[in-house]
Amino acid sequence: MAWFAGAAAIGCLVVGLLHLHRLVTVPAGRAGEASSAAAATGMAAMFSPLGDPVPLAVWIAVFGGCAAWTFLLAARDEDVTHHLLCSGAMLFMLVGHNAHGSGLVMVSVVALVAAGYFAWHGLRCVDRFRIACTGHPRTVAGAQLVSAVAMSGMLVAMI
């Protein structure tokens, strides 16, 4: 299973780097690109078979900051809800994996609902990928598909 974790970590890291590149080179949608880069990098660290080199408090600050930034921009950006859910899901995975006792049921329910959302989002990305002819729209749709599949898989693993 370590080979899968390593491959998933590398895949998520590549997606994170793609979003960082777009953050610098594409002037529109910077909040979304930053949020997506943070989520992909966070998932790469979670998948890493070598362990997460970043302290939990730093990740909580990063995803809390992404959620707050996204929330503040909500009135101006139509894709904000998805990025807000991404940041919330990352925070949930960071703190929810330590649930014990009665809290475990609630964690499982939230993880299942969130996994369903990201699976649905993955299907939307497949449609976007098919519709886009070439170039950046297709690359972005593919990167978002990889992120959606990774997020769904990590959430299902929490159940």
DSSP per position, 38-58: HHHHHHHHHH-TT---S-HHH
**Model pLDDT for residues 85-103, shown as the tens digit of each residue:** 888 899 998 887 766 666 6
| Contacting residues for 108 by C-beta, under 8 A, at least 6 apart | 158, 159
Instruction: Give the span between the Cα atoms of 61 and 43, in whole angstroms.
Output: 15
Of residues 22 and 2, the one with the higher pLDDT is 22
Taking residues 115-123, report their average pLDDT. 92
Round the CA-based radius of gyration of the chain to a whole number and report it: 15
pTM of the predicted model over 0.75: no
Domain count, the chain: 1
Alpha helical stretches, state H, the chain: 2-25, 30-47, 56-72, 80-96, 103-131, 136-157
Residue 33 CB burial class (10 angstroms; 0-12, 13-18, ≥19) = buried
Task: Give the separation between CA 7 and CA 21, rounded to whole angstroms.
Answer: 21
| CA dihedral angle for residue 116, residue 34, residue 47, residue 156, rounded to 10 degrees | -10
7-11, 23-27, 79-83, 155-159: least confident range = 79-83
Distance of alpha carbon 133 from alpha carbon 122, whole angstroms: 18
Range of the domain at 119: 2-157
